[in-house]
Amino acid sequence: MTNHSETTGPSENGDIPGPRHSNGKALVPSVPGADEHQVTLRTPAELADALPYLLGYRPEDSIVLAALRDREGRGRFGGRARLGIPANTDDWSCAARQLVQGLVTGSERRGVRPEQMVAYLCQEPAPGETGREVMERLRPLAQRLRVECGALDVPVVEALCISAGRFWSYCCDDQACCPAEGLPMGLPGTSVLAAAATYAGIQVRGSLSDLRARLLPGESPSAADQTAALDAAATTLVARILDTEGRSEVARETLESAERIMHRLTGAPPVSGVPAEDLRDDHLLGDDEAAALILGLQDRTTRDRAAGWMEGDEAAPALRLWRALARRCVGPYGEHAAAPLTLAGWVAWSTGDELEAREALAMALGADPDYLFARLLHQACNEGLDPESIRRCLRAERQDRAGGVGQTGPDGGARPDGGAIPDGGPSPDGGTRPDGGPVSHGGDRAGATGLRKPCAPGEPAPTPQQPSARRRRTRGPNPADGTRRRARTASREPRAGLAPGRSGSRAEDAGATGHRTRGDGQ
């Protein structure tokens, strides 16, 4: 499974006056929207307590780097980057190099090169293992991080291991402040920083596992019923989608059904708690409805039109629907989750929730590494680009469809300017990246030289009578022999190649193409 690196939080959210000895740093993170309230962190214990507030969640099984830079004689937090800890120790050097180089080079591109670094290693003990044993086992990884940072002239001023409710410093050997048995973490929400964050409205959203649980199928007896419904839907819908006329009809039915269910979700009575909310939404979505929507969204044009529900009153029920559909991609249909996960990530990003956006898009790439829409959005989100440029394209396409403006391709897709989008070639207007740069037109690939124009989500796919490398999977069972196979339509989602270290964000990223590991689960 691909371990996608990620970053969280703004790139400038704190000050530190004159970094000193590793156990005497005075980190002074500013509170967004309330810069007059500053909290001074002077010890490794306070650094350890600050980690969830730097990221916005509690990291698990993670390497985290926080960059520091000088500003008017005071230090300042820069970018943060996270990567899952590879299960294979042979991969540690590569992971450390990827994370450090991605964070440093990403900062350099923005003219804020880190001057120092704080490193965190977070991992819970395996059965029969103690927290101290985890710390000693991860010590070579901490050393690799320090070496890689030193090679770029960015010293690590503190490296902490957090495990089993305790923390250890790899940089301080003073037994008076950093004993060998470690020190207990403070109770969540009891520190000065926790109080300041609460006052400023900053929330820590649990762990990544909590967030993923909203997007992953659960283990329940109903999974067999959902699999049967998906099998039945695939038997009928695959053949219709492969037919030119049937494809448009399936698209219409899919979008109308999605709108009906969104209205149903909007009218549902409120409940308390995230698990209860998801359970309520699951009960409002029938197995047959979910199966038809999941199969219908495998068509790229249908998915792109569904992406138009990304703001205003439509955004919240759309996000709830995409989460619910991702949870219904059970058993052999796990790869189908790429479409609803990408839509969930897009809506989350469009509405300002970058944490859920990055996680959903990373999970979409885990379900289908070739899913171009997810890869482009994941890179753009990590680059810190403004989603408004993509929203404008989707709004224009929606208005064109409503007004009947524009030429449509064989599958009904249209460009916002009214011209049909050619397959695999440059757009007539030359195209621009979301950040203003030129588009690198490379057929079905988005190369390291640039992102495809944001209007790419509206591109039509060729029909079966117009073969192209741009094909899409519509997967389902083989009606003849009862075995599951991939039935390919003429619009398979193409593979995108991204150069390592290309992606970054305001918080600088380590690259959209992540290190492979069995231990991260992304």
- What does the alpha-carbon distance between residue 357 and residue 146 come to, in Å, rounded to a whole number? 30
- Inform me whether the pLDDT recorded for 47 exceeds 90: no
- Inform me whether the pLDDT recorded for 173 exceeds 90: no
- Inform me whether the pLDDT recorded for 464 exceeds 50: no
The two structure tokens encoding residue 430: 């030359």
Q: How far out from the chain centre does Cα 208 lie? A: 11
Phi-psi category of 482—alpha, beta or left, where left has phi over 0 and alpha has psi -120 to 50? left
Instruction: Tell me if 400 sits within 8 A of 414, measured CB to CB.
Output: yes
- What does the alpha-carbon distance between residue 197 and residue 377 come to, in Å, rounded to a whole number? 30
Provide mean pLDDT across the span 449-471: 36
Provide mean pLDDT across the span 132-148: 96
The two structure tokens encoding residue 203: 């929330």
Q: How confident is the model at residue 71 (pLDDT cuts 50, 70, 90)?
A: low
Instruction: Tell me if 84 sits within 8 A of 61, measured CB to CB.
Output: yes
Extract the runs of DSSP E, i.e. beta strands, from 73-228: 74-84, 116-122, 156-163, 166-169, 183-184
Provide mean pLDDT across the span 495-514: 34
Whole-number CA gyration radius for the chain: 24
- Inform me whether the pLDDT recorded for 483 exceeds 80: no
Nearest to 343 by CA among 328, 360, 330, 359: 360
Provide mean pLDDT across the span 253-266: 96
- Inform me whether the pLDDT recorded for 57 exceeds 70: yes
- What does the alpha-carbon distance between residue 486 and residue 1 come to, in Å, rounded to a whole number? 20
Q: Following DSSP, what letter does each residue of 441-460 receive, concatenated?
A: -BTTB--TT-PPPTTGGGPP
| Strand, coil or helix: 246 | helix
Nearest to 341 by CA among 396, 297, 386: 297
pLDDT of the residue at 74? 58
- What does the alpha-carbon distance between residue 469 and residue 504 come to, in Å, rounded to a whole number? 29
How much is the mean pLDDT over the chain? 74
Helix (H) or strand (E) holding 301: helix 300-306
pLDDT tens readout for residues 320-338:
999 999 999 999 999 999 9
Q: How confident is the model at residue 39 (pLDDT cuts 50, 70, 90)?
A: low
- What does the alpha-carbon distance between residue 145 and residue 342 come to, in Å, rounded to a whole number? 32
**Residue 290 half-sphere exposure toward CB, CA atoms < 13 A:** 31
| Strand, coil or helix: 133 | helix
- Inform me whether the pLDDT recorded for 281 exceeds 80: yes
Phi, psi at 38, each rounded to 5°: -120, 145
| Residue 287 CB coordination number (10 Å) | 17
Q: Which residues contact 269 (CB under 8 A, 6 or more apart)?
A: none
Q: Which residues contact 449 (CB under 8 A, 6 or more apart)?
A: 440
**Tokens 């992540």 found at:** 514
Nearest to 145 by CA among 106, 83, 99: 99
- What does the alpha-carbon distance between residue 363 and residue 329 come to, in Å, rounded to a whole number? 13
pLDDT of the residue at 287? 96
- Please tell me which residue, 413 or 368, carries the higher pLDDT value: 368
pLDDT tens readout for residues 343-372:
999 999 999 998 899 999 999 999 999 999
- Inform me whether the pLDDT recorded for 122 exceeds 90: yes
Instruction: Tell me if 507 sits within 8 A of 7, measured CB to CB.
Output: yes
